[in-house]
Amino acid sequence: MEIVGVKIKIFALIVILIIVFFLALKIGVVDLSWGQIYSAIISVIKGVNEESLCFSIIREIRLPRVLIALIVGAGLAVSGAIFQSVLRNPLAEPYTLGVSGGACLGVALVTVLGGYKLFFLLPLAGWLGAGMSVFIVYFLAVRRGFSTISLILSGIVINFLFSSFVLILFAFLKPSQVQSMILWLMGDLSGANFNSVKIGYVVIIPCLIISIVFTKRLDILGLGDEKAYSLGLDAKRNKKYFYLLASTITGTCIALSGVIGFVGLLIPHLMRRFFGIPNKMVLIASSLAGAVFLLLSDTIARSIISPQELPVGVITGLIGGVFFLLLLVLGREWKIG
């Protein structure tokens, strides 16, 4: 009966995801009919270029943005679930190891040097910056025995340090670039296009699949290092693998959408309450729920004060902040599982 209940919950998430997907395509400054949306999607799938306004809106604006929201939401949620399990800390999130600071610094440097005009340089800069941050954090943590506490403290320090460098780089940007960078740092999906969609899906989807395939190791790591070693699992080595996997996902998400908070903290926390301890179902559910949450938040962000837009990070921050404030007020315990 429990397995049936889990399948029903997963199926419900898939149905909700499909509904939110089509609502996101419909809602906007220009109201489109369901028939127009269907025709435009079929034309995009067939590779047929039309000259209608409806096709242009779907093909150039809404569909790339929706697809980016789906993959970034799923990626951040799964990355957060991995960090929470490996670090055994329900407050861990994708940015715990300073990945956000490193990725932001990489993108800021490319922007200052003018490389932002080439679409592939921003994701590459995000990955390199995230990788640099993770390398430094690992180096510092290894010198302190590679403990969980040393990892978290090193990540916090590196994140603040790199974030300070990003603010320094603002002095070298033009006013228009500063505004764009600030919006990006708050989380912004308005620049989505099919080039970024391809990059996001090619990198993030394989990482999601790998993380789900090896969830048994993640379950064992969640028991602690001593129990992991007693069960024949090299805890330190596997921790490094999962850190690198989650950091790759996070760095790519940041490069595509900026820094979007609370998705990787709120969604895994909720999914563990609904699906329990086993990470396989938590990761699958987190990917679906994260996609729904970010897509719904972005739809609200671009329509609540239409025709103006809010950064999507503002909406996720408000929702996440209110949720955790309620947890504190109600006195609920922080726990994994």
Per-residue pLDDT of the chain (337 residues; tens, 9 = 90+): 466 678 888 999 999 999 999 999 998 888 888 888 888 888 888 877 777 888 888 988 899 999 999 999 999 999 999 998 888 888 888 888 888 888 888 878 887 777 656 656 777 777 788 888 888 888 887 777 767 788 888 888 888 898 888 888 877 777 777 777 777 778 888 888 888 898 889 999 999 999 999 999 998 988 887 888 888 888 888 888 898 899 889 888 988 888 898 999 999 988 988 887 788 899 999 999 999 999 999 999 988 887 888 899 999 999 988 888 887 787 655 554 4
Class of domain 2-330: mainly alpha
What does the block give as tokens for 333? Answer: 């315990």
- Look-up of token digits 């957060």: 80
**In sequence order, what are the residues at sequence separation of 6 or more whose Cβ sits closer than 8 angstroms to the Cβ of residue 263?**
73, 76, 77, 80, 290, 293, 294, 316, 320
What does the block give as tokens for 226? Answer: 């001593």
Segments making up each domain of the chain, as ranges: 2-330
What does the block give as tokens for 337? Answer: 């599982």
Question: Which pTM was predicted?
Answer: 0.89
**Cβ–Cβ < 8 Å for 50, 183:** no
Q: Give Dmax (Cα) for the chain.
A: 65
